[in-house]
């Protein structure tokens, strides 16, 4: 009888202990790790290229401009890099935020055909956006002292729309100036509150260098102005590696959350077993009493 009751008590304790379970969860965000020569990721994995094309909402098709830069806006996929091309030449880039983008670019004199393409972290391209034709009407530049000679307007170009670097390391970004008339003034807004102004005596390729202190995504705006006051513009994206601090919460890491959750299913399973154990124990006890009374055996548990 003692063994039966002991078994019932053990079963009861197991049934009570099983329903209480602790569940832990931690919010973590994968971090991209752009390389210094472009954009890469540690543990890079294959993923399909973006399938949705961005759009160009502004400017309107056929619109004419007399001043630059012009503003380009449209819809895109959040988190992707949007590049704008003018006559198939890279004009500028920005990140898609909240499903839309906006940036300023310069355009060539005459007719320009604008198109937007978005890229993922693996630099895989989406389909092209709608094509928008715009025109830039300006006076034809002439070379001072030679009224009959036509000079080319200043153009600023780069082979990179986005580059990555580690905090505290020097970011080196090559650009090129062509056309216009030297000397040239080059102003740079690095997107971290710092600006620079430099001069170049002649056109050609040159490097812009900067050191970022904190991780993040920064919009770099470059403006080059020639001796005649004509300017060229470009916006590109710098990605500084590391965990980006959420300014709203000022937390780098989400805390572990522990929740106690009562699971009633094990109790429902154990309840019939407990009833069966008590019933079998009671029946066994009655049989033992009747047997002892019939054979005049000493009292139970004496």
Report the relative pairing of strands 70-75 and 100-105 from DSSP bridges. antiparallel
The whole-model pTM stands at 0.66
Buried b (16+ CB within 10 A) or exposed e, 89-110: ebbbbbbbeeeebebbbbbeee
- In this structure, of 49-58, 80-89, 145-154, 176-185, the range with the lowest mean pLDDT score is 145-154
Q: Give yes or no: residues 95 and 233 share one domain.
A: yes
Q: Does residue 152 register a pLDDT over 70?
A: yes
CATH value at residue 142 = 2.60.40.10
Token pair 């034709």: residue: 133
- Tell me whether residue 44 is in a domain: no
Region 175-190 average pLDDT:
96
Q: Rounded CA gap, 199 and 187, in Å?
A: 9
- Tell me whether residue 114 is in a domain: yes
The answer to whether 281 touches 1, Cβ cutoff 8 Å, is: yes
Q: Give yes or no: residues 233 and 260 share one domain.
A: no
pLDDT tens track for 53-80: 999 999 999 999 999 999 999 999 999 9
pLDDT tens track for 230-256: 999 999 999 999 876 544 433 344 444
Q: Give yes or no: residues 212 and 286 share one domain.
A: no
Q: Which residues constitute the domain of residue 114?
A: 64-240
Q: How far is CA 65 from CA 28, 59, 62, 153, 272, in A?
A: 47, 10, 10, 16, 83
Q: Give yes or no: residues 12 and 146 share one domain.
A: no
Q: Give yes or no: residues 138 and 231 share one domain.
A: yes
SS3 assignment, position 281: helix
pLDDT at position 282, please? 60
- Tell me whether residue 280 is in a domain: yes
pLDDT at position 46, please? 81
Q: Give yes or no: residues 159 and 274 share one domain.
A: no
- Tell me whether residue 156 is in a domain: yes
Q: Give yes or no: residues 235 and 277 share one domain.
A: no
pLDDT at position 242, please? 87
pLDDT tens track for 125-144: 999 999 999 999 986 655 55
Q: Give yes or no: residues 72 and 152 share one domain.
A: yes
The answer to whether 63 touches 134, Cβ cutoff 8 Å, is: yes
pLDDT tens track for 9-25: 454 444 544 444 433 33
Q: Give yes or no: residues 12 and 85 share one domain.
A: no
pLDDT at position 260, please? 42
In the chain, % of residues over pLDDT 70: 61
Q: Give yes or no: residues 139 and 287 share one domain.
A: no
- Tell me whether residue 171 is in a domain: yes
How confident is the prediction for the chain on average, in pLDDT? 78
Q: Give yes or no: residues 225 and 267 share one domain.
A: no
- Tell me whether residue 152 is in a domain: yes
- Tell me whether residue 268 is in a domain: yes
pLDDT at position 14, please? 47
Total of domains in the chain: 2
Q: Give yes or no: residues 235 and 260 share one domain.
A: no
- Tell me whether residue 250 is in a domain: no
């Amino acid at each position: 009888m003692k063994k039966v009751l002991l078994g019932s008590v053990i079963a009861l304790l197991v049934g009570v202990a099983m329903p209480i379970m602790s569940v832990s969860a931690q919010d973590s965000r994968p971090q991209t790790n752009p390389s210094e020569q472009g954009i890469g990721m540690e543990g890079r994995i294959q993923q399909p290229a973006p399938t949705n094309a961005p759009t160009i909402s502004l400017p309107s098709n056929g619109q004419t401009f007399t001043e630059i830069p012009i503003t380009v806006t449209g819809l895109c996929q959040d988190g992707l890099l949007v590049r704008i091309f003018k006559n198939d030449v890279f004009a500028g880039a920005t990140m898609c935020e909240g499903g839309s983008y906006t940036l300023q670019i310069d355009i060539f004199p005459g007719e320009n055909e604008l198109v937007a393409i978005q890229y993922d972290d693996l630099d895989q391209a989406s389909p092209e956006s709608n094509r928008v034709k715009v025109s830039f009407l300006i006076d034809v530049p002439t070379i001072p002292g030679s009224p009959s000679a036509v000079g080319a307007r200043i153009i600023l170009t780069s082979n990179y729309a986005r580059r990555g670097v580690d905090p505290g390391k020097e970011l080196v970004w090559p650009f090129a100036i062509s056309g216009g008339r030297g000397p040239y003034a080059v102003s740079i807004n690095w997107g971290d509150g710092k600006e620079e102004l430099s001069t170049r005596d002649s056109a050609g390729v040159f490097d812009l260098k900067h050191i970022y202190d904190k991780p993040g995504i920064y919009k770099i705006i470059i403006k080059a102005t020639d001796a005649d006051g004509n300017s060229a513009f470009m916006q590109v994206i710098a990605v500084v590696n590391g965990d980006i601090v959420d300014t709203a919460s000022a937390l780098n890491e989400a805390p572990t959350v522990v929740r106690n959750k009562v699971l009633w299913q094990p109790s429902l399973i154990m309840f019939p077993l407990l009833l069966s154990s008590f019933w079998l124990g009671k029946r066994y006890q009655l049989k033992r009493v009747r047997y002892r009374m019939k054979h005049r055996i000493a009292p139970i548990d004496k």
